[in-house]
Chain A
C-alpha cells in the first residue's frame, strides 16, 4: 500500500506579532503571530529546508521524482523544482515538476506522487511545498498569512501512513487570486468566499470520502482541515461532526498563520508527529475545489518520528521581529538602497552548481582533507585532481571567527561574515543568517542553510549561509 514514508517541515525563525500590523494600520485585530520568512528566504529555500528534513536518513538515490507545490515560485519561466532538487543533491535522473497556481497544489502533487508510486513509475516521490504569500498591506489577509514549508516522501515500502482513499473535485470560484502582475493576494468579500468557497467545498469532499469508506466522524483520530482562519476552522469541524477539542488538528493559525499551498501538509506533519500506529487521519485541502485523503498510521511511524525536524521542532524556535518595518523591509515593500551591480553570472552559477547549490565539497583522496570550494589542486597537499565529492550541507560546524560588516549591502545589516570549521574537518566561509548580532560567540555551533544571496539581472543567486544551530 502506498503512502507517506517520511515527512519534514520548516517554519522560519522570524515571527511577527500581528499587533505590530494593527499598530500601523488599525482596523480589525487578528490575534496571534505570523511566521515570516527572513529577507533571504523564499519558497525555494524553505522547500529545501523541509525537503532536507524529510530526507534525513533516507538514501537520496531512491528518490525518483520531486514535485514542488507553491503559489509563490519566484520564477515564472524556469522550473523551481529543479533548483530544489539540485539543492537537495538529488541525482540528475529525478523527474521534477512545479505544481503551482492553486492553494490546493500540494495535495494535487501528493495525488500525482501516489499515482506514480502505485503505477510503479517511481519508487519514492518527494513532495515539497512552501509558500510566502503577501496580503495587501493593512488587510486581514496580511494579518492572517504566514510562511512555511512541508515535505512528504511518498513510497510503497516502510510506509508510516498508508493512503487508503482519496477524493478530488474542482470548483471555479473567485476566492483568492493573483494575476501575473499582482504582488498581493486579491479576494472577494469574506462572507461569500467562506460559505461558497471554503465551507461548501470541504464539506462536499469530506462527506464524499467518509461515505465512500463508510466512516463516521468518531472513526477519525485526527481531522487535518485547511483553515480559513481559527474561527472558521472550528466551525467547519463542528459542521462535519468532529469534536474540535480532541479530533481537530491544530491549524497553526495563531502561531504561524495561513501558509497557503503549504498549509495543509504542514498541519498533516503536525498530526503525524503526534500519531501512533492504528490512528486514522483525515486530510482535507481546499483551493479551486478540494482534495481529501484517508490515512492509516502504521507501526513504522515510530522510526520516522526520530530525528525529524518538523512543526514541533520549529514552533518554539523563534525570534520576534521588533517592528512592522522589519516585515516591510524583508518583503521588499520598502526598498533600501542595497546595491548589487553586475554580480550575477549565469555561466559561473551553472559551472559551479555542484558546490553553489548542491553544497558539495571535495575530499582529497591523497590527504583526506575537505576542499571547499572544490579545487583542481588540493590546497592541503597539492595533489592534482584526486577528489571525491562529499555533501557538506548537513555537517555541523563551529564558528572560528566572525565580523559584523555594516558596509556591505544587506537588507539586514550587519552582514555577519563567518569562518566555520566543520566538526568532521574542512572550512567554510559564509554569511550568518537567522541570528541576533549581539549573541554571536567564537566557537558557537552552527549549521548550513540554503538561502537567497542576492537578486540582480533577474537572476536569483542562491547559496549556503550558516546560522546558529537551530534547536527546538
Chain B
C-alpha cells in the first residue's frame, strides 16, 4: 500500500449558512456553498472535471449536475450515513492520485427541514427499515443506551455531558455560519427537558439544513490556485458489522469503529501522540456522549477517564486540543451529508487563520482531524480524515 499523505490538496472551500433554511431548497444550499468554493479557489464550473455529491436525501449524480448545471462531467452520489461528506473527499482523493482527473469538486449537503416533523427519523437507509426490529428507538434513545452504561461503569455524570454541550455552544456562538448561536450555562443544560434519558435537550445536536463544498487537485498543482492550501494526510473508514446491539461482546462504553478508523489514520499520517501532535479535532458530536467517548476512542483521553479532561477544560478553545472549535454538530448543526465537508472547512479555515471571529481563532493550527460515525452505537460506520499544512 502506498501512502496518500500530502498527495492531494484542498484549494478552495465553501460553506452555506447552516440553520433552519425554510426559504432555501437543497439546490440553493448547494449553489451557496459551491460558488463560495469556486471563488475561494479562483475557478469556475467549467474547470471542474468530475464531482462527488454527498447526500442521504437525493439520488444520483444529477443532485449536483442539476443545481450547478455542470456539463455532462462524471458525478457520483455517495452515501455513507453520517460519514457521507467525508466519503466524497475520499473518493475524490483517490481519483486524483490515480490521475483520472486534475481538478474536482466535492459537495456535501442535506435538506432536513422539509419532512414536516422534527428529528431525523429512524436514521436507517431506505429499504432497510425493519418493521419491528428497526423502529424500536430514535437516535437519541440509542446513544442514551451507551450513556447509561458508561455512567455506571466509569462514574461519569450528567454534568460531564453538559460541560461538553456548554463548550459546543460557546464555540458555536462565536461562529457566524453556525445554526445555534447562543451560549448556555451548565445549569441550563442540566435542567433541560429530557429527550432520551439520560440525554437532555442540550445533549442533542440541531437538525439543520446546510451544504459545504471543497475543490481538490494534486498537491503539485495546488500552488497554481493558492499559497495556503492544505493537504490530505490520511483517510480512514471502518464499517462495523453492526452487531453491538445483538452480540454480548460489545460493552457499550466505547466506540469500536471510531477506534479502528483512528488506528488507520494515525498509521497513515504517522501520528504517535495525538494529544501533542493534533491541533484541532472536529468530531461527530451528534450527542454529547458521542464526543465524550470519542476523546477515548481517538486516544486523547484514557479509557474511562474522559471526565477528568472535561473538568480540566482540555478540549476547550483555549485548552490543549480544541474539539469542535466550530461548534460541532451540536451547535453548528448536522445536515447529514454536509457535516464531514463542513468539518474539513473548519480545519481549513483555522489553518489559514480565517476563522471569522478573532475570539475563536486558534493559534498555530497545522494538523486537524475530521471525524464522523454513522448509524448508532454498536452499529457504526466511521469515516475519518487528517488534514494539515503540506509537509507537516
Contact = CB atoms under 8 A, between A and B. Distances in A.
A339 B148 contact: no
Contacts, number: 121
B138 interface: yes
A372 B246 contact: yes
B132 A405 contact: no
B1 interface: no
A26 interface: no
Contact of A427 (B143, B195, B245): B245
B245 A343 contact: no
B131 interface: yes
Contacts of B197: 403-406, 414
Given A404-B197, A405-B144, A442 B152 contact: yes
A407 B146 CA distance: 17
A453 B119 CA distance: 21
Contacts of A421: 248
Contact of A403 (B129, B133, B135, B147): B147
B249 A380 contact: yes
A403 B137 contact: yes
B141 interface: yes
B142 A417 contact: yes
Interface in A199-220: none
Given A407-B138, A461-B132, A417 B247 contact: no
Interface in A169-189: none
Contact of A453 (B135, B142, B152): B135
Nearest to A340: B135
Interface string A425-446: 1111111000000000010000
A94 B25 CA distance: 57
A408 B131 CA distance: 15
B100 interface: no
A189 B82 CA distance: 64
Contact of A415 (B119, B141, B252): B141
B145 A348 contact: no
Given A429-B246, A431-B136, A352 B145 contact: no
A419 B197 CA distance: 15
Given A344-B131, A352-B130, A407-B138, A402 B148 contact: yes
A339 B135 CA distance: 11
A32 interface: no
A195 interface: no
B117 interface: yes
B145 A401 contact: yes
A14 B252 CA distance: 33
A229 B136 CA distance: 40
A430 B247 CA distance: 13
B149 to A, nearest CB: 4
A250 B136 CA distance: 40
Interface in B90-147: 117, 119, 129-133, 135-138, 140-147
Contacts of B73: none
B150 to A, nearest CB: 9
A454 interface: yes
Nearest to B132: A463
Contacts of B133: 352, 356, 373, 429, 463
Nearest to B149: A401
A463 B196 CA distance: 22
A417 B131 contact: no
B358 interface: no
Contacts of B247: 369, 371, 379-380, 427
Interface in A326-360: 339-340, 343-345, 348-349, 352, 356
A448 to B, nearest CB: 13
B391 interface: no
A414 B148 contact: no
A415 B137 contact: yes
A314 interface: no
Contacts of B241: 379
B135 A348 contact: no
A22 interface: no
A405 B245 CA distance: 16
B191 interface: no
Given A379-B241, A414-B196, A417-B145, A407 B131 contact: no
A400 interface: yes
B129 to A, nearest CB: 6
Nearest to B242: A379
Contacts of A402: 145, 148
Nearest to A345: B131
A419 B149 CA distance: 10
A463 B133 CA distance: 8
B251 to A, nearest CB: 9
13 contacts: A345-B129, A379-B243, A380-B249, A400-B149, A403-B198, A403-B199, A404-B196, A405-B140, A406-B196, A415-B141, A417-B145, A442-B148, A454-B135
Interface of A: 339-340, 343-345, 348-349, 352, 356, 369, 371-373, 379-380, 400-408, 414-415, 417, 419, 421, 425-431, 442, 453-454, 459, 461-463
The 3 closest A-B pairs by CB, nearest first: A405-B141, A403-B144, A404-B197
